[in-house]
Amino acid sequence: AVLKAEPAAVFKFPLAPLGCSGLGSALLAAGSGLQGGSASPHLPLELHLRGKLEPGPPEPGSKAKKGRRSRTVFTELQLMGLEKRFEKQKYLSTPDRIDLAESLGLSQLQVKTWYQNRRMKWKKIV
C-alpha cells in the first residue's frame, strides 16, 4: 500500500502567522483554489508551486542565465591522485594546478574547486 500525498495537502496549514502576509495570503488563495476545484485567480502561482510553469523567454537586453553545472563525479584514480598530492601540498600554484589537471584528465576549475573543498574539510578535522 503506497500512500501518496495530495498536492492540495501542502496548503492545508495557515501561512499568515509566519510574517509573510502577502505571500501567505497568495498561497492560501492558491491552496483554496486547488482544494475547492474552482478556477483560481492565482493560476500562474499554482502552476509555479507545482513545478509546471516553465520560465518565459529572457527579457530583451538581459543576460541569459546559464544552467548550473552538474556535480562532478571523480573516478577512484582521480581521487587517489588528488588526495596523494593534497597530502604533500595543501595549496597549488597555477602551474602545479595545470599539471595536476592534465595528468588526471580534469579541468583546472575542477582541481581548484576540489582543493578548496578539501582544505575546508581538512580545517574542520585539524
On whether both 82 and 41 belong to a single domain, the answer is no
pLDDT of the residue at 23: 52
Is residue 64 included in any domain, yes or no?
A: no
Quote the number of domains for the chain: 2
pLDDT of the residue at 126: 85
Is residue 57 included in any domain, yes or no?
A: no
More confident residue, 2 or 77: 77
Is residue 40 included in any domain, yes or no?
A: yes
Global pTM value: 0.49
51 with 83: CB under 8 angstroms?
no
Residue 25's CB is within 10 A of a number of other CB atoms, namely: 13
pLDDT in tens, 77-93: 999 999 999 999 999 99
Range of the domain at 112: 76-125
Q: Give residue 111's pLDDT band: very low, low, confident or very high (50, 70, 90).
A: very high
Is residue 1 included in any domain, yes or no?
A: no
Is residue 96 included in any domain, yes or no?
A: yes
